[in-house]
């Protein structure tokens, strides 16, 4: 499974190279893509100022992706990561690290990508070069 944060999910809302790459990748990997209530909240917040079309797109994305819940182990991992990550990014990392089936993290957040790679998660950012977070 691949955990997607709000920066990845919201990539589809604004036209561009990354949007097209994300849409192709997320369609191909839809069966293995998961997020959390936090990821959906970030998606909806990103869509809000973009108007009704973006809000409808966000709703379609939110209803198509599997949502995993926060659990004790994820909060434990997030607490450890909070020394280097802001709180929401730490929660995303905590969920991805603690979920036994998650092997990767889809994100466009540079700091979260760096820390996820340290935790041996495969970082997925369609439309960006491999290892972009280290450049």
The predicted-structure confidence for 36-70, as pLDDT tens digits, reads as follows 999 999 999 999 999 999 999 999 999 999 999 87
**Where do the domains of the chain lie?**
2-134
Quick one: 2-134 is in which CATH superfamily? 5'-nuclease (3.40.50.1010)
From the list 93, 100, 103, 90, the residue with the least C-alpha distance to 29 is 103
The predicted-structure confidence for 97-117, as pLDDT tens digits, reads as follows 988 899 999 999 999 999 999
**Low-confidence winner among 29-38, 57-66, 88-97 (lowest mean pLDDT):** 88-97
């Amino acid at each position: 499974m691949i955990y997607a944060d709000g920066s990845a999910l919201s990539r589809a809302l604004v036209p561009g190279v990354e949007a097209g790459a994300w849409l192709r990748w997320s369609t191909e990997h839809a069966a293995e893509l998961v997020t959390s209530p936090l990821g959906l909240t970030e998606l909806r917040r990103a869509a809000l100022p973009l108007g009704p079309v973006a809000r409808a797109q966000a709703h379609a994305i939110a209803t198509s992706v599997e949502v995993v819940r926060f659990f004790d182990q994820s909060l434990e991992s997030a607490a450890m990561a909070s020394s280097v990550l802001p709180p929401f990014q730490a929660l995303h990392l905590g969920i991805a690290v603690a979920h036994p089936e998650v092997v990767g993290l889809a994100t466009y957040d540079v700091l979260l990508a760096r820390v996820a790679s340290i935790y041996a998660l495969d970082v997925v950012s369609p439309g960006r070069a491999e290892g972009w977070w280290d450049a």
